């Protein structure tokens, strides 16, 4: 199977972490997202231990919670010793409700509102990752009014093409995020930031993109960032305390894609950081990273109940399911690849090539095309694998379809971690 936590049991059903997906679908209803708790923890701990081993004891991974923000995941991040990357007051609120220690958080985003800044300061956010100078000015002013001196990292763009899909490239010079090194604006921004009295400029940050399978772009990023620090040490006497290298490690969604070994990637990147730091003669900063997708993606699958099947002779076949772009908009948005299987008849002969369509009133509402399945019957359970990252967090109520329930398979049994949305939930803000 695609990942080691997936298997097929004697009933010919797909299992995740040993749990029968068809039984889960019957018990909890569909669409249903099923998480594997042990795999989430081991993905988190892989980063915690590899970073400490290769970057030093004070290195910390921050879970990029935009991948999947909910109280349950903030609690697991806290248990495993991770920090968190948050990008809105809503994520901050969720983390706070989960009891997360917000001093271990980085507040991101390219447009923090005044209200976000106040809220983050009131709640003791660990670091602001500052995207632009107007934001820097506002953080400094609001901090002065509130009598605080927040820690700031400057978000820089190192000008790297990480060879991934365009919508998730974030470190190029012309991207909407950060301040470019290449244009000397990063140097100007740092010079300016260091004149501010109510912030502590503790470091720099970059995130080059997402779903990246090569280690080279990360090594290039490390080189460029340390090179910048060396330059700034000479020009501005800037001593960097924190170097945040962002996230972006790729995850296997379909056969043929590699399974990244997190520890070997980190060990390779650490070599570059250490070499460059030694070469430049600057002091070794604390290293942060921000994995999102590689923490949660392969810990989850989505179960749907098959509805109608439509054959258009000479054209294509459709299989419709009871969810769609409302719980997984990634195929519609990016043409993302997924592995789809008929969870209720795993070993049956696959002879039906089809497009798996959602139930939304829109022809672009597809989950995947050219899928080979046993010919599905109404009531069969269909599984889409590797749906932990950017699925629930990007879900919507389009067509007033309630968001799915999320359950976790744990050592002590199955538990609901997000209740299925109800129709009452959907109208609760309508007046
Ligand atoms: N740090 C920052 C500042 C980020 O912007 C992101 C992702 C991450 C870390 C985590 O990156 P990851 O490890 O998950 O690759 N919705 C898109 C992905 C958007 C990524 C946004 N930023 C998708 O569904 O593919």
pLDDT at 414 (0 to 100):
98
Does the beta carbon of 65 sit less than 6 angstroms from any atom of ligand 1?
no
Does the beta carbon of 64 sit less than 6 angstroms from any atom of ligand 1?
yes
Q: What stretches of 98-215 show up as alpha helix (H) in DSSP?
A: 114-122, 133-146, 185-193
Closest CA to 60 of 85, 35, 40: 85
On whether both 330 and 383 belong to a single domain, the answer is yes
Which atom number of ligand 1 is nearest to the Cα of residue 250?
15
CA of 208 to the centre of ligand 1 (A): 9
Quote the domain boundaries for residue 188.
Answer: 108-291
On whether both 129 and 267 belong to a single domain, the answer is yes
Between CA 77 and CA 72 the distance in angstroms is: 9
In a domain, 210, yes or no: yes
On whether both 153 and 279 belong to a single domain, the answer is yes
Which atom number of ligand 1 is nearest to the Cα of residue 170?
5
In a domain, 263, yes or no: yes
CATH of the domain at 336: 2.40.37.10
In a domain, 48, yes or no: no
Does the beta carbon of 247 sit less than 6 angstroms from any atom of ligand 1?
yes
CA of 133 to the centre of ligand 1 (A): 23
Does the beta carbon of 85 sit less than 6 angstroms from any atom of ligand 1?
yes
On whether both 144 and 10 belong to a single domain, the answer is no
Largest CA distance in the chain: 71
On whether both 312 and 357 belong to a single domain, the answer is yes
On whether both 264 and 176 belong to a single domain, the answer is yes
Q: Considering its fold, how many domains does the chain have in total?
A: 2
Catalytic site positions: 361
Contact between 300 and 35 (Cβ < 8 Å): yes
Does the beta carbon of 168 sit less than 6 angstroms from any atom of ligand 1?
yes
Low-confidence ranges of the chain (pLDDT < 70): 163-171
On whether both 267 and 338 belong to a single domain, the answer is no
Contact between 367 and 403 (Cβ < 8 Å): no
Does the beta carbon of 47 sit less than 6 angstroms from any atom of ligand 1?
no
Does the beta carbon of 153 sit less than 6 angstroms from any atom of ligand 1?
no
pLDDT tens profile 256-277 = 999 999 999 999 999 999 999 9
On whether both 123 and 272 belong to a single domain, the answer is yes
CA of 165 to the centre of ligand 1 (A): 12
Contact between 171 and 134 (Cβ < 8 Å): no
pLDDT at 172 (0 to 100):
75
CA of 29 to the centre of ligand 1 (A): 30
On whether both 276 and 304 belong to a single domain, the answer is no
CA distances from 279 to 202, 228, 230, 283 (A): 22, 13, 9, 11
Pocket perturbation via mutation, ligand 1, pick of 46, 61, 166, 247 by most ligand atoms within 8 A of CB = 247
Which atom number of ligand 1 is nearest to the Cα of residue 295?
13
Does the beta carbon of 292 sit less than 6 angstroms from any atom of ligand 1?
yes
Does the beta carbon of 293 sit less than 6 angstroms from any atom of ligand 1?
yes
On whether both 177 and 205 belong to a single domain, the answer is yes
Which atom number of ligand 1 is nearest to the Cα of residue 108?
3
In a domain, 63, yes or no: no
Cα torsion angle, 82, 88, 89, 93, sign: negative
In a domain, 159, yes or no: yes
In a domain, 60, yes or no: no
DSSP run (H or E) holding 49: helix 37-55
CA of 67 to the centre of ligand 1 (A): 7
How are beta strands 105-107 and 32-36 bridged, if at all? unpaired
CA of 190 to the centre of ligand 1 (A): 25
On whether both 121 and 227 belong to a single domain, the answer is yes
Does the beta carbon of 131 sit less than 6 angstroms from any atom of ligand 1?
no
Ramachandran sector of residue 109 (left: φ over 0; alpha: ψ -120 to 50; beta: rest): left
Sheet strand arrangement including 19-20: 6-8, 14-16, 19-20
Among 248, 264, 291, which residue terminates a domain?
Answer: 291
CA of 276 to the centre of ligand 1 (A): 26
In a domain, 96, yes or no: no
Pocket perturbation via mutation, ligand 1, pick of 127, 217, 292, 391 by most ligand atoms within 8 A of CB = 292
On whether both 208 and 314 belong to a single domain, the answer is no
Among 269, 291, 313, which residue terminates a domain?
Answer: 291
CATH of the domain at 260: 3.20.20.10
pLDDT tens profile 82-133 = 999 999 999 999 999 999 999 999 999 999 999 999 999 999 999 999 999 9
In a domain, 47, yes or no: no
Among 274, 291, 308, which residue terminates a domain?
Answer: 291
CA of 218 to the centre of ligand 1 (A): 14
Tokens of 57: 């004891």
Does the beta carbon of 162 sit less than 6 angstroms from any atom of ligand 1?
no
Pocket perturbation via mutation, ligand 1, pick of 43, 46, 65, 66 by most ligand atoms within 8 A of CB = 66
pLDDT at 173 (0 to 100):
80
């Amino acid at each position: 199977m695609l990942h080691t936590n997936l298997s097929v049991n004697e009933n010919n059903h797909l299992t995740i972490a040993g749990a029968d997906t068809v039984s889960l679908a019957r018990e909890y209803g569909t669409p249903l997202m099923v998480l594997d708790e042990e795999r989430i923890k081991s993905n988190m701990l892989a980063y915690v231990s590899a970073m400490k081993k290769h970057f030093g004891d004070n290195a910390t991974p921050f879970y990029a919670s935009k991948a999947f923000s909910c109280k349950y995941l903030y609690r697991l991040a806290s248990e495993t010793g991770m920090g968190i990357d948050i990008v809105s007051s809503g994520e901050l609120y969720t983390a706070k409700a989960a009891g997360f220690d917000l001093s271990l958080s980085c507040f991101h985003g390219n447009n923090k509102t005044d209200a976000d800044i106040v809220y983050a300061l009131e709640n003791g956010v660990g670091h602001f990752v500052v995207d632009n100078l107007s934001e820097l000015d506002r953080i400094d002013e609001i901090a002065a009014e509130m009598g605080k001196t927040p820690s700031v990292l400057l978000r820089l763009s190192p000008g790297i093409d990480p060879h991934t899909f365009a919508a998730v490239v974030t470190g190029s010079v012309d991207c909407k995020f950060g301040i470019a090194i290449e244009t000397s604006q990063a140097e100007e921004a740092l010079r300016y930031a260091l004149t501010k009295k109510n912030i502590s400029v503790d470091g720099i940050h970059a995130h080059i993109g997402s779903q990246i399978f090569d280690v080279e772009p990360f090594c290039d990023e490390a080189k460029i960032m340390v090179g910048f620090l060396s330059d700034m040490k000479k020009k501005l006497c800037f001593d960097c305390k924190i170097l945040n290298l962002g996230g972006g490690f790729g995850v296997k969604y379909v056969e043929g894609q590699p399974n990244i070994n997190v520890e070997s990637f980190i060990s390779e990147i650490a070599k570059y950081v250490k070499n460059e730091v030694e070469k430049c003669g600057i002091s070794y900063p604390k290293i942060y990273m921000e994995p999102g997708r590689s923490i949660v993606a392969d810990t989850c699958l989505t179960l749907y109940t098959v509805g109608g099947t439509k054959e258009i002779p000479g054209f294509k076949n459709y299989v419709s399911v009871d969810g769609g772009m409302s719980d997984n908009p990634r195929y519609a948005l990016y043409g993302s690849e997924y592995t789809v299987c008929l969870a209720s008849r795993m070993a049956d002969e696959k002879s039906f090539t089809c497009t798996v369509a959602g139930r939304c009133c829109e022809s672009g509402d597809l989950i995947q095309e050219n899928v080979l399945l046993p010919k599905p019957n109404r009531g069969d359970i269909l599984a889409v694998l590797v749906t932990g990252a950017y699925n629930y967090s990007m879900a919507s109520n389009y067509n007033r379809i309630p968001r799915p329930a999320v359950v976790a398979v744990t050592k002590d049994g199955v538990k609901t971690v997000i209740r299925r949305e109800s129709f009452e939930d959907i109208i609760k803000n309508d007046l």
